[in-house]
Amino acid sequence: MPKAAIIGNTTWGKALAALLGGKGITVKLWTRSEDEAEGLNQEAYCYSSTSYVEEALDEAELVILAVPSPKMRENVARIKDYLTDSMVLVSAAKGLEAGTGRRMTQVITEEVAPSRGQQICVLSGPNLAREIAHGLPAASIIAAHDIVIAERARGLINSPNFFLVTSDDVVGVELCGALKNVIALGAGMIDGLGLGDNAKAAFITLGWDEVVSLGLSLGAKVGTFYGLAGLGDLITTCSSTLSRNHQVGYELAKGHSLADASTLVPQVAEGVNTTLAVHQLAKTLNLSLPITNLIYSVLFEDLPLSRALSQFEKLVENHHQPWVDALR
């Protein structure tokens, strides 16, 4: 029977551990402390937990990194000495690294070794952890530069209620998962202000145009942005009350500071750091991303939402779809 290691005592990590354990895979979930491991071992019935890295990774065929993107580099550094060439590594985080703008597979590759880059996959799509933990159906994408590796990971993770398709567009799948969180922050703000679904739809449409523009400039495939990893995840994250990024945006609109809004929402809203990373990337690439800049200004420059709305209205008047030209 295959063995899998889950790195990260997160809602997503525990949902994936239960999913894999439920299909008969031997699963070890790694936690930071012995107390956490003992607590989970009393609750979980189809997987076990440990605070010892070497125990979690021993003979694992599949290693899933289900940690928040701001903690990815730190966690990979802690486990890399126990990784082997036969392991398939899967990033289940959705974010960009603040300061570098790196995608998570890039962060993992830098920490382990460039030669292992072909072993690394990314799992992304409309996969709200709480729904999957309750056995509700979902579909997502597993992507790798080597499609054979993606198929191998799919075979290990795919389940009756969690259907996976494969892709070789690692760049596009990762960018979709990370950047839809930025749009979800704005969608949450619009909901918090009570502006209605029409306004939110306009915001999402213009914001996603920017995401596609950025993705194409970084080598992603345009079709990915209209599949499960893109449009599918965007719809879920911008509409569900289970979305942490949507919740943070909502709380900001209710007058809370970013620090307070982040505290009110369980676990990490990865769109916050990703907004910072995208703002820096846009400068480096000399790209105009006015919607993203509005979100950045609200988060980090104390731009009042009333002024942000006024600026957004002007953007609607002058709307242009930058990716259309790229398709001609």
Reduce the DSSP state of residue 142 to 3 states and report it: strand
Q: Is 194 within 8 Å of 57 (Cβ atoms)? A: no
- Say which CATH number the domain at 47 has: 3.40.50.720
* Buried/exposed code over 259-278 (b: 16+ C-beta within 10 A; e: otherwise): eebbeebeebbbbbbbbbbb
Q: Which of 3, 28, 94, 180 is catalytic?
A: 180
Looking at the fold, whether 246 and 115 belong to one and the same domain comes out as: no
Looking at the fold, whether 69 and 157 belong to one and the same domain comes out as: yes
Looking at the fold, whether 55 and 203 belong to one and the same domain comes out as: no
- The Cα–Cα gap between 27 and 3 comes to 6
- The Cα–Cα gap between 326 and 225 comes to 14
Looking at the fold, whether 139 and 255 belong to one and the same domain comes out as: no
Looking at the fold, whether 153 and 214 belong to one and the same domain comes out as: no
- pLDDT-derived band at 115 (thresholds 50, 70, 90) equals confident
Looking at the fold, whether 70 and 199 belong to one and the same domain comes out as: no
Q: Does residue 3 carry a catalytic annotation? A: no
Q: Is 67 within 8 Å of 13 (Cβ atoms)? A: yes
Does residue 94 carry a pLDDT above 80? yes
Looking at the fold, whether 192 and 322 belong to one and the same domain comes out as: yes
**CA nearest 323: which of 198, 175, 201?**
175
Looking at the fold, whether 165 and 186 belong to one and the same domain comes out as: no
pLDDT tens readout for residues 22-68: 999 999 999 999 999 999 999 888 999 999 999 999 999 999 999 99
Q: Which of 170, 189, 213 is the last residue before a domain boundary?
A: 170
Looking at the fold, whether 76 and 185 belong to one and the same domain comes out as: no
Q: What is the pTM of this model?
A: 0.93
Does residue 323 carry a pLDDT above 50? no
Report the percentage of the chain scoring pLDDT > 70. 97
Looking at the fold, whether 277 and 152 belong to one and the same domain comes out as: no
Bridge partners (DSSP) of residue 65 are: 7, 91
Place of tokens 């990024």: 245
Looking at the fold, whether 110 and 206 belong to one and the same domain comes out as: no
Q: Which domain holds residue 143?
A: 3-170
pLDDT tens readout for residues 76-85: 999 999 999 8
pLDDT tens readout for residues 220-267: 999 999 999 999 999 999 999 889 999 999 999 999 999 999 888 887
Looking at the fold, whether 127 and 252 belong to one and the same domain comes out as: no
Q: Which of 152, 170, 188 is the last residue before a domain boundary?
A: 170
- The Cα–Cα gap between 298 and 249 comes to 10
